[in-house]
A = this chain, B = another copy of it.
Amino acid sequence: MTVAGLLDALASSEPTPGGGTAAAIAGAMGTSLLVMVTGLAKSRNNTDDEKAALARAREALLPMSGRLSTLADRDAESFNAVMAAYRQPKATDDEKAARSKAIQAALAGATTVPLDTLRACAEVLAQAPAVAQHGNRAAASDARVAVGLLRAAAAGAHANVAINLEGIKDEAFKTATAADAARLSSAADRDASAALQALD
């Protein structure tokens, strides 16, 4: 999909793609910017230790932009599945039961995708303090933009987890997922703050 096509699709009143997709793409852009910083010829002080730390961060970061892109697509698919479940027939008791089961399964999927987006953003942000500390100062504003986008992506993914959890009846799943999301958000915020501090 082209960038212009994505922007048009987000703006259309069709239900997908929506915020979950936009959050994942923002996270992927932030990841790509961090990858860029780890690939510059010069590190902050040009020491071997610093270059080794950036190489380790780069290795961890390289698969993550693609993973977030995939999650952007899966977010739209999972929400389409929720709407398809709601459209199932509900004339008989059997149909009602089957529809309710399908809705619950689809909502669980639509919760798991943004949770995975949040997890991916948290994993990327775990590398951000090292990138901020050791990366070339000439790219400091790129690193700052990256961290801001990843923090916004994580918060956006968390909002999508929360809204889809509202419709889920399985209390154990709700509690476990909400706790997982809260833990990942805290870690993401902590790492984002540490990275921004290293850029000041």
Contacts and interface: CB of A to CB of B under 8 A. Distances in A.
B163 A19 contact: no
Q: Is the interface of A mostly helix, strand, loop or mixed?
A: helix
A18 B143 CA distance: 10
Interface string A1-19: 1111011101111000011
A11 B143 CA distance: 12
Interface in A128-187: 139-146, 148-149, 151-152, 155-156, 159-160, 162-163
Given A145-B23, A152-B148, A156-B145, A18 B3 contact: no
A124 interface: no
Interface of A: 1-4, 6-8, 10-13, 18-20, 22-23, 25-26, 28-33, 35-36, 39-41, 65, 69, 72, 139-146, 148-149, 151-152, 155-156, 159-160, 162-163
Contact of A33 (B8, B10, B35, B36): B10
Contact of A69 (B3, B25, B160): B3
A11 B26 contact: no
17 contacts: A1-B3, A2-B3, A4-B69, A6-B29, A7-B29, A7-B32, A11-B35, A19-B142, A19-B143, A19-B145, A20-B141, A22-B30, A141-B159, A144-B156, A145-B156, A149-B149, A149-B152
